[in-house]
Amino acid sequence: MSQDVPPQTPEALFTGHSQMHALVRTHDWAASPVGPVASWPTSLKMLVKTLLGSRYPMILTWGPQLTQFYNDAYSLVIGDKHPAALGTDIRGTLAEAWDSLEPLVREAMTTGVASWVPALQLLLNRSGYREESYFDVSHAPAYDDMGAIGGMLAVCAEVTPRVLSERRTRLLRDLSAQAADTRSVAKTCGDLVTALADHPLDVPCALLYLREEDGRSLSLCGAVGIERGGPLSPETVMLDAASRMAAPFLRALGGERVLRDGLEVLLSLKGGPFGDAVGTFLFQPLAGSGTAAPLGVLVTALSPNRAFDESHASFSELLSAQVAASLRNARAYEEERQRAEALAELDRAKTAFFHNISHEFRTPLTLMLGPLEDVLAQVPVTEAARKDLELVHRNAGRLLRLVNTLLDFSRLEAGRIDSSFEPTDLAAFTRDLTGHFRSAIERTGLSFSVECAELPEPVWVDRQMWEKVVFNLLSNALKFTFDGGIIVRQESRGHDVLLRVTDTGTGIPAEELPHLFERFHRVRNARSRTHEGTGIGLALVRELVVLHGGDVTVESEEDRGTTFTVRIPRGHAHLPSDRIQAARQQASTALGASPFLQEAERWSDAQPVLRALEPVPALTEEEEAPGVDALRARVLVVDDNADMREYVERVLSPSFDVVLATDGQAALAAARANPPDLVLTDVMMPRLGGFGLLRGLRERPSTRAVPVVMLSARAGEEAAVEGLEAGADDYLVKPFSARELVARVRSMLELSRSRREALRQEMLAQSLRESIQARDDFLAVASHELKTPLAAFRLHLERLERSLGEDALGRARSPLESAGRQVQRLHALMETLLDVSQLTTGRLALDLNDVDLTAVVGSAVARLREEVARMGVTVTLDAGTPLVGRYDRLRIDQVVTHLLTNAAKYGQGRPIAVRVAAEEGTARLTVRDEGIGISEADLARIFERFERAVPGRNYGGLGLGLWIARQVVEAHGGRITVDSKPGLGSTFVVELPLEGLKAA
């Protein structure tokens, strides 16, 4: 044998240091179908050598006996079948999965066409049981020295954790969505069981047991995948310590997670993707609120084709937490509903009481007022007696007005107000009403002006209600005005009628204005003509104006006066159709101006006394009257994308009142002016982003408790954790479904309402914290969603290209290549953005190995030559001897790629020179172009994020490549510099230590 021919022994060929290198060297190949190594064709030797050197899972079969060769990474795929599988027939090693794999292997070996199948489900028996697993696999033909197909080369990557994570995430999401609208424990149980039934691979069967009120038994409230009443699914479980049946339930109620194995004898249940017998049940507690006892026990069957490992245990814990949270919310709702029903019953009783008491009061008051008026009109009495009679008459009238006011409020609260809206000449009617007060006002020395312009059409009002509005406002103005005068103005403005009552009285402190229309609220220490009053006059005005579809506002300045403005719409489209000119069913509570004037006339003679008013005692929960029906929730949607804003508005507007904002700054101003019930905000926005908006909301007490749901295109655990740690209540990743969005918003609003209504209840507070924790854990399992559609698109392009004939392929080659380049460009853009995320959060991890820098640079230049050639650019490489250091191969390749593409982009089509050399113990990579160069002002910032060499000119790109390159180089303990002048090109120099990464 010539001295120039290298030896053909295994020791000489397979010189690596891995386990598989050693096994291949020592294997008795002579006893195998492929024979001794010396007889192998060169192609087989090279394939095995390449395979052993790869860190990606690869397997090679050769010859008709399908003799298999594989590397260290693949040995993990076959588990305990390694190392016996080396050199044997693959059909024996993967016998249980061969039905799925054989068509792919045969296709590669008979047709020469490679295949790529993502997330292929395989049945493997590699760990002592029939395991459900998923792989991204590619099968390609392997050619011998004569060009014939001699075998098959497969590359695979196990994606089982990803597939299971996505599937389990969908289950948790479905559970959340199903339970979002529940209103009772029974309905919640049914919805939870429905959601579980759609996921038999993860939950072959489930039993939902809830504790009875006496705590002595559990009742079956839901079952899926198993018949109720069986040996392991009794309708009732008595919690008797001596009962064998109750033992796992009692342990679960004590806080344990209990596994019960070997149940195949009791069950005929099949599960998993391969229909194997289910034999293990998991018993988990359903946690109650705070320190309360568990609500019950969730029993789930474990898939016979998945080990109960750490991820499975974590998923099971999340599952029980989600079920428990839904049940706690349902129970809280039922308790709230019971309280509401009790309050409603109290309200009905109170309304009936007021109705009855009004009659009881009104009858004797009528019998008092009638005879008193007769006596005063007909019977001569002494002056002293007359004054006494007038005093009795006046106070009886005041008492009657108070009774009628309380009756009006009781009717308003019960929704039984008797109204009748009719077209009215409101200018004349208002002038007539105000005329009753003229003498009383002028008697006090105040001026009185009424300016009621004629209106273009009759206005639809309830005359009795409008009378009360005008009289209350005038009475209030006179009460607090001592100098100057009172002005009443009424006019038409647009589609509304405005009534303004302005006085020059004492005014109202700014801090009192927000509470002015609250029931029973009175301004403390206010100077007035009398201290009498219940604090319900202005509240009644507001309620009556609201019934007209309008509103009432107030403007005031201390010692300058006050203006009340009443606005009601014209027309009657806004009014209840059944109350248009309706017949009245109740006795009128309108008493005319007399009671108001009687009090006002008395005020004109009295001197105001200033004293501190005692605070009105707060009502107890039982005494507090329920308010009117709640309005629809206001949701503030913030996004800089117009299409997204319109879509979210369209989705949410049927259920909520939606307010839109284009960025965080505008949203913050709107939220502070009128706090919404919930904020739904994008993360990335101009002027002020989502996190800045979140901080601004949390700074103000008025918006601190507003729930915030963040929308983002950033997927992954880190992004979700970042949003939640910043104070967001939920984190929704785009794309999302309309149903999920509505469910999340409704869930957040319900959660927010529960927080507001139960702040004093520690039990509910703990429940909410557990719900948030469950949601945090749920969000933590989502990752890598951006890459999935891109990989699918790339796969379809490849399949399309393979499916076209030669003629069609020739015509479509240019569009297909263009589409492929765009896919590659989008993939590079995604990788760049993910790199930015890692770098900005300090999570860049280097995979350091002994790497030849010269080889890495040469490989990158060769790969990019064709791409830059399309731009008319040539690249020369000056590379000497190998330069070995401790580097991350992929990251160094990334640096070279950024520098070359940057040079090609700004090089004006001129040549690029790349040089790799060692200087003074340092590896130096130089990339020089003859392009436009960089100005001196731009050199200082060229390595910063989002900076580009030529600001203002459209060269494309994000301005991130050089920043990423600098971060990677510095992470290796090196540095990157640039020397450039405008018009003379640029030279980038990367210096890396040859001894590897220096210790910190």
Give helix then strand counts, H and E, for the chain: 29, 32
pLDDT single digits (tens) 718-741: 555 666 676 788 878 777 777 888
608 to each of 222, 476, 480, 644, how far by Cα in Å? 71, 14, 9, 60
pLDDT for 785: 47
Single-letter code of the amino acid located at 312: H
Q: What is the pLDDT of residue 67?
A: 95
Q: What's the average model confidence in pLDDT over 467-480? A: 88
Structure tokens of 861? 């230049």
Give, as one character, the DSSP assignment of residue 133. Answer: E
The first and second tokens of residue 895, run together, are 């640096």
Confidence of residue 142 (pLDDT cuts 50, 70, 90): very high
Place of tokens 């299971």: 164
* pLDDT at 601 (0 to 100): 59
pLDDT confidence of 232, banded at 50, 70, 90?
A: confident
Q: What is residue 503's predicted lDDT score, i.e. its pLDDT?
A: 93
State the pLDDT confidence band at 820, using cuts at 50, 70 and 90: low
Hey, how many other C-beta atoms are within 10 angstroms of the C-beta on 914?
A: 22
Exposed, middle or buried: residue 139 (CB in 10 Å: 0-12, 13-18, 19+)? buried
Q: Indicate the pLDDT class of residue 801, thresholds 50, 70 and 90.
A: low
Name 853's Cβ contacts closer than 8 Å, sequence gap at least 6: 882, 883, 884, 885, 887, 892, 916, 923, 925, 992
CA 619 – CA 992 distance, rounded (Å) = 76
Neighbours of 174 (CB within 10 A): 19
- In the chain, % helix, strand, coil (3-state, to 5) comes to 45, 20, 35
Region 812-836: what's the mean pLDDT? Answer: 56
User: d(Cα 138, Cα 799) in Å, to the nearest integer?
Assistant: 13
Which has the higher per-residue pLDDT, 461 or 380? Answer: 461
Sheet holding 975-980, edge to edge: 875-879, 912-919, 922-929, 986-993, 975-980
- Encode pLDDT of 60-94 as tens digits: 999 999 999 999 999 999 989 999 999 999 999 99
Q: What token pair was written down for 920? A: 């003074």
Pairing of strands 485-493, 447-452: parallel
pLDDT at residue 636, as a whole number: 94
Does residue 704 surpass a pLDDT of 80? Answer: yes
Residues 98-136 have pLDDT tens digits of 999 999 999 999 999 999 999 999 888 888 888 899 999
Eight-class DSSP state of 949 = S
Identify the pLDDT of residue 347.
Answer: 66
For residue 953, give every residue at least 6 positions away whose Cβ sits within 8 Å of its Cβ, in sequence order, or none: none
Examine the pLDDT at 566 and tell me if it is beyond 90: yes
User: Tokens in use for 179?
Assistant: 């339970």
CB of 900 closer than 8 Å to CB of 929: no
What is the spatial distance between Cα 360 and Cα 364, in angstroms, rounded to a whole number? 7
Structure tokens at 579: 């109350």
Q: List C-alpha distances in Å: 132 to 160, 201, 348.
A: 8, 10, 61
Task: Using pLDDT thresholds of 50, 70 and 90, give the confidence band for residue 869.
Answer: confident
What digits encode the pLDDT tens for the residues 678-692?
A: 999 988 776 788 888
**Cross-strand bridge partners of residue 492:** 497
pLDDT at 529: 62
The per-residue pLDDT for 527 is 67
pLDDT of residue 364: 75
Helix (H) or strand (E) holding 548: none
Share of the chain above pLDDT 90, in %: 27
Among candidate residues 831, 982, 985, the one with its CA nearest the CA of residue 898: 831
Q: How much is the mean pLDDT over the chain? A: 80
Q: How many residues does the chain have?
A: 1000
Q: How far is the C-alpha of 632 from the C-alpha of 637, rounded, in Å? A: 15
Q: What token pair was written down for 124?
A: 């493997």
pLDDT digits (tens, 9 = 90+) for 17-26: 899 999 999 9
Give dist(CA 68, CA 45) in Å, integer.
Answer: 13
Contact 106, 81 (CB under 8 A): no
Which value, to the nearest 10 degrees, does the dihedral of the CA atoms of residues 359, 364, 369, 375 take?
A: 150
**HEC letters along 139-155:** EEEEECCCCCEEEEEEE
Work out the pLDDT band at 606, boundaries 50, 70, 90: very low
Q: How many whole angstroms separate alpha carbon 617 and alpha carbon 639?
A: 46
Q: How far apart are CA 426 and CA 423, in angstroms?
A: 9
Structure tokens at 394: 């006046």
Q: Which tens digit of pLDDT belongs to each residue from 644-703?
A: 787 788 889 888 999 999 888 889 999 999 999 999 998 877 678 888 898 899 888 888
pLDDT greater than 60 at residue 597: yes
Alpha-carbon span 285 to 277, nearest angstrom: 25
* Per-residue model confidence as pLDDT tens digits over 939-995: 878 887 666 655 545 555 556 778 888 888 888 889 999 888 888 888 999 999 886
Pick 870 or 984 by higher pLDDT: 984
